[in-house]
Amino acid sequence: MSKPSTPSPLSGAAAATLLATSGGLVALAIYQWLELLELRAGRLPACALNATFNCATVWDTAFAHRIHEYVGMPVAGLGVLWGGVAFVLAFLFIQRSRASGDGEAFKGAVKFWAILGVLSCVTFITASLQARALCLTCLGTYALTFGYAVAALKLVGGPAIPPLRDLTPGAGWALVLTVPIYLGLLVPGSRTPVQTAPTVPVVDAHNPKDFGAIVDGMPERDRLTAAWAREQWKNSRQHDVSMFPVHALKGSPSAPVKLVEFTDILCGHCAQFEALYREIEKMAPPGSISMEPRYFPLDKECNPDMTGSANDGVRCYGARLQICTEKSPNFFALRSELFENQARLDQGMMLSIAKRHGVDEAQLNECMKSPATAARITEDIAYAKKYAIEGTPLVLLNGKVAPPSPVFLMAMAISGGNVDSPILLRLPPAPKE
């Protein structure tokens, strides 16, 4: 007479692998989230090593932005979510198996969640390859996810992919755990900026009344952002920078609104501000605004204030190349093209862009190696430090730090630099920090 089969006992290796991989993934995803916040603040994340191994490039793809917008949190948040659910499911499975010898109810849940994790990794790997960059911390995420899958599909026993009747209850348990964890993660997710290009309101023939009406009809959040920018600028301290001569200027020297911008060639927010300024320039009254480019490369290779380096020379090369082409009649077009191709930049591409804009390669190379160019970078760093720079871009408006709010900058240009103009007084009170 045959006896009914009993589930095989859960091995210690399977239990340890499930808990270690899922717990490690949660920790790694939290670290990635913190690094993403560094990136959104305009600072160089530690995982941005070079043009190929660059987490910033992967996190700034359109695919990553769409996920953030659709689910309310960045991809790193989904890592915390998956890892958290995976850990709890594994814990319940282990407890039930050891307490009663019957963990079949949770075995299907663990296997279902592992399969979902593997499919998600395939999707993210495909998106990363399309971005032509690799994120080392993401590779760690994939490794931990596949490790969990090996333990779930192989080490715990039973068929690697159970029949649907066994997976369905598991999917139910996974859903029960996913909902509260997801809702909890929406809180930090909503506070994590999505890197979207700012938009500039279109005005009719530079008519201040028209712009004032646009300000009145803007969403309250945009109005409050402009009000906050105005308040920050009013309270910002002006420093003596007369020792720093102007080297390059876009716009009229007599413009009532003078911007100075400190950038890093691989800073995503800097590329956004470059596009933003071009739009403001189109809409602002002629001669009302000017922009002076300065450089603050986020790499200790040429900036002693930095602690990290990508070891690929791109950031410092980009600063030196711009300094050495400032006298070129095509400098600002060249600079715009550099930022437009930011995701794919390396030294060779930057040189090709410069040559396409008529720059002589021999003269450029000589200039980039010169002590004068190194001294200029030192000068710009000293200039930025007067304003306690914390990240790029640092934007100064008439000698005071200005948040790069499109509405605030446009209103200042239209009003001739009058922070108490009727346009700006139509804004609501600035939100308190």
* Sequential DSSP letters for 122-143: HHHHHHHHHTT-B-HHHHHHHH
Tell whether 245 and 352 lie within a shared domain.
Answer: yes
Residue 419 pLDDT greater than 50, yes or no:
yes
Structure confidence at residue 142 (pLDDT): 94
Residue 103 pLDDT greater than 90, yes or no:
no
Residue 159 pLDDT greater than 80, yes or no:
no
Structure confidence at residue 200 (pLDDT): 58
Whether the Cβ atoms of residue 93 and residue 109 lie closer than 8 Å to each other: yes
Among the residue ranges 35-39, 237-241, 248-252, the one predicted with the least confidence is 35-39
Residue 205 pLDDT greater than 70, yes or no:
no
Structure confidence at residue 391 (pLDDT): 85
Residue 204 pLDDT greater than 60, yes or no:
no
Structure confidence at residue 56 (pLDDT): 76
Residue 419 lies in a domain: no
Percent of the chain predicted with pLDDT > 90: 49
Structure confidence at residue 203 (pLDDT): 56
Tell whether 273 and 375 lie within a shared domain.
Answer: yes
Tell whether 249 and 105 lie within a shared domain.
Answer: no
Contacts of 242 (CB under 8 A, 6+ apart): none
Among the residue ranges 74-88, 161-175, 316-330, the one predicted with the least confidence is 161-175
In 10 A of CB 395, how many CB atoms? 24
Q: Please indicate whether residue 404 or residue 32 has the higher confidence score (pLDDT).
A: 32
Residue 2 pLDDT greater than 50, yes or no:
no
Residue 418 lies in a domain: no
* Cis-peptide into 393, omega within 30 deg: yes
Structure confidence at residue 164 (pLDDT): 72
Q: Of 134, 167, 190, at which residue does a domain stop?
A: 190
pLDDT mean over 392-406: 92
pLDDT mean over 125-143: 83
Structure confidence at residue 207 (pLDDT): 56
The answer, as to whether pTM is greater than 0.85, is no
Task: Look at residue 160 and give its three-state secondary structure.
Answer: coil
Q: Which of 3-12, 160-169, 212-221, 287-296 has the highest mean pLDDT?
A: 287-296
Distance CA 332, CA 249 (A): 9
Structure confidence at residue 202 (pLDDT): 59
Residue 317 lies in a domain: yes
Residue 144 lies in a domain: yes
Could you give the C-alpha distances from 120 to 1, 257, 295, in angstroms and in order? 46, 49, 39
Structure confidence at residue 3 (pLDDT): 45
Among the residue ranges 162-176, 275-289, 313-327, 360-374, the one predicted with the least confidence is 162-176
Tell whether 67 and 181 lie within a shared domain.
Answer: yes
Whether the Cβ atoms of residue 224 and residue 410 lie closer than 8 Å to each other: no
pLDDT mean over 8-20: 85
* Tens-place pLDDT, residues 269-324: 888 888 888 888 887 888 999 999 999 999 999 999 998 888 889 999 999 999 99
Residue 215 lies in a domain: no
Distance CA 267, CA 259 (A): 18
Tell whether 16 and 118 lie within a shared domain.
Answer: yes
pLDDT mean over 405-413: 87
Structure confidence at residue 42 (pLDDT): 59
Where does the pLDDT of residue 40 fall: very low under 50, low under 70, confident under 90, or very high at 90 and above?
confident
Q: Of 190, 205, 224, at which residue does a domain stop?
A: 190
pLDDT mean over 18-30: 95
Structure confidence at residue 209 (pLDDT): 54
Tell whether 361 and 277 lie within a shared domain.
Answer: yes
Q: Please indicate whether residue 123 or residue 60 has the higher confidence score (pLDDT).
A: 123
Q: Please indicate whether residue 221 or residue 84 has the higher confidence score (pLDDT).
A: 84
How many domains would you assign to the chain?
2
Tell whether 168 and 290 lie within a shared domain.
Answer: no
Tell whether 157 and 242 lie within a shared domain.
Answer: no
Tell whether 186 and 241 lie within a shared domain.
Answer: no
Among the residue ranges 61-65, 141-145, 317-321, 395-399, the one predicted with the least confidence is 61-65
Q: Which residue is associated with the tokens 């490794």?
A: 143
CATH, residue 112: 1.20.1440
Residue 421 lies in a domain: no
In SS3 terms, 301-354 reads as: CCCCCCCCCCCCCHHHHHHHHHHHHCCCCCHHHHHHHHHHCHHHCCHHHHHHHH
| Domain that includes residue 108, residue range | 12-190
Q: Please indicate whether residue 203 or residue 284 has the higher confidence score (pLDDT).
A: 284
Structure confidence at residue 261 (pLDDT): 96
Among the residue ranges 52-56, 196-200, 296-300, 361-365, the one predicted with the least confidence is 196-200
Residue 201 lies in a domain: no
Tell whether 314 and 186 lie within a shared domain.
Answer: no
- Give the mean pLDDT of the chain: 86
* Tens-place pLDDT, residues 58-81: 887 778 878 888 899 999 999 999
In 10 A of CB 221, how many CB atoms? 9
Structure confidence at residue 100 (pLDDT): 66
Residue 199 lies in a domain: no
Per-residue burial over 331-351, b if 16 or more Cβ lie within 10 Å, else e, is: bbebbebbbeebbebbeeebb
Tell whether 17 and 158 lie within a shared domain.
Answer: yes
Q: Of 135, 166, 190, at which residue does a domain stop?
A: 190
Tell whether 247 and 152 lie within a shared domain.
Answer: no
Instruction: Please tell me the number of Cα atoms within 13 Å of 186 on its side-chain side.
Output: 11
CATH, residue 293: 3.40.30.10
